[in-house]
Structure 1
Amino acid sequence: MTVFTNGFSTLQIPEDFEPVPGKNEFTELYLVNTKIPMSIKFSTTPTLAGLPEIRADIEKNAAINDKIELINSDFIAINDDIYYMVVSSFSDGENELRRNEFLYVKDDNLYFFEFTYPYADRELDDFYLNIIRSLKISGPKYIVENGEYKINNNE
């Protein structure tokens, strides 16, 4: 079993997935599996918003974007924590992709999982949940104070 850690968060990397460079400073881990094909993104960002506010923003943005179909938007329990789950599909005109997102807020840090794959009917609940359940948080990566954030140096 391969494990990812950044000093603040640890999680299991599923078999046959390869890391590729992230696209922004908050992307902790970006994995692809060309055999399925599927991508997994794990991010940590500073936030002062709670899950209800995040849900409202996501639903509002999905409503005004005609390329995104919101399939499911709800709070779910994973382990002993409450996550916000969003299932959507979007099309670029040629390809339709399914995206399952799971968001969790703790200590002013938003932990975000995004699973993207090209079939709308594939059942992968256990696959997602096993990765999310493997998340161990040893401390917040970001400290948010006075409208600014900094890396937590007290690991």
Structure 2
Amino acid sequence: MTLFTNGFVTLQNPKDFNPIANKGDFVELSLINPNIPMTIKFSTAPTLAGLPDIKNAMEDQLNSNPNINVETSDFIAINDDIYYMLISSINTDKNEIKRNEFMFVKDNNLYSFEFVYPYADAELDDFYLNIIRSLKIKKPKYIVSGDGYKINEE
């Protein structure tokens, strides 16, 4: 088992996944398994919003795109924490792409997991949950105030 750590969090890297260049301002880790194919993205972002506000914003954004089908949008318990889970599919000319997102807010930091793959597979539920359950937060990465945020250097 390989662990990802950045001084703020640790996270289990699943077997047979390779790191790829991060894409996005707040992306901490991007992985790909070319055999499945599946990508995993883990992000941390500063936020003053709570999960209900994030849920409403995500639903509004995705429902405005006719190519995206929101299949599930709900709160779930993982470990002792409440996560927002969003499962959607994107229809392309060639296939349907599934996207499962799990979001958690703690200490004004939004922790987000995104799993993207080109088919539906309920067997992957334990796979997602095992990765999410492996998240250990050492300290918040961002310190957020009304006028912005900064990296936590404590």
Aligned length: 154
- Alignment-derived partner of residue 113 in structure 2: 113
- Which runs of structure 2 are paired with 1:1-155 in the superposition (5 Å)? 1-154=1-154
- Report the RMSD for the aligned CA atoms in angstroms: 0.9
Code of the aligned partner of 2:125 = D
User: Which one-letter code corresponds to 1:96 in the other structure?
Assistant: E
User: How far is the alpha carbon of 1:108 from its aligned partner?
Assistant: 0.4
Alignment partner of 1:56: what SS?
helix
Of 57-66 and 108-117, the range deviating more from structure 2: 57-66
Q: Does the residue aligned with 2:87 lie in a helix, a strand or coil?
A: strand
CA distance in 2, matches of 1:34, 1:104: 28
Distance (Å, rounded) in 2 between the aligned partners of 1:84 and 1:48: 16
- TM-score normalised by L of structure 1: 0.97
**Could you list the runs of 5+ residues in structure 2 that have no partner in the other structure?**
none
Aligned to 1:153, the other structure's residue is in SS state coil
Q: Distance in 1 between matches of 2:146 and 2:74?
A: 31
Counterpart secondary structure, 1:123: helix
Provide structure 1 residue ranges, at least 5 long, that are not aligned to the other structure.
Answer: none
In 2: Cα distance, 1:76 partner to 1:83 partner = 5
Deviating more after overlay: 10-19 vs 112-121: 112-121
1:64-85 CA-partner distances (Å, limit 9, x unpaired)? 1101000000000000000000
Cα distance in structure 2, aligned partners of 1:121 and 1:131: 17
Question: Does the 8 Å contact 1:89/1:120 carry over to 2?
Answer: no
Contact 1:99 1:117 in 2 (8 A): yes
Aligned mates of 1:101, 1:67 — CA distance in 2: 17
Which sits farther off after the overlay, 11-20 or 118-127?
Answer: 118-127
> Residue by residue, what CA displacement relative to the aligned partner does 1:87-139 show, whole Å, maximum 9, x if unpaired?
00002322310000000000000000000000024421100000000000011
Query: Using the alignment, how far apart are the partners of 1:104 and 1:152 within structure 2?
Result: 19
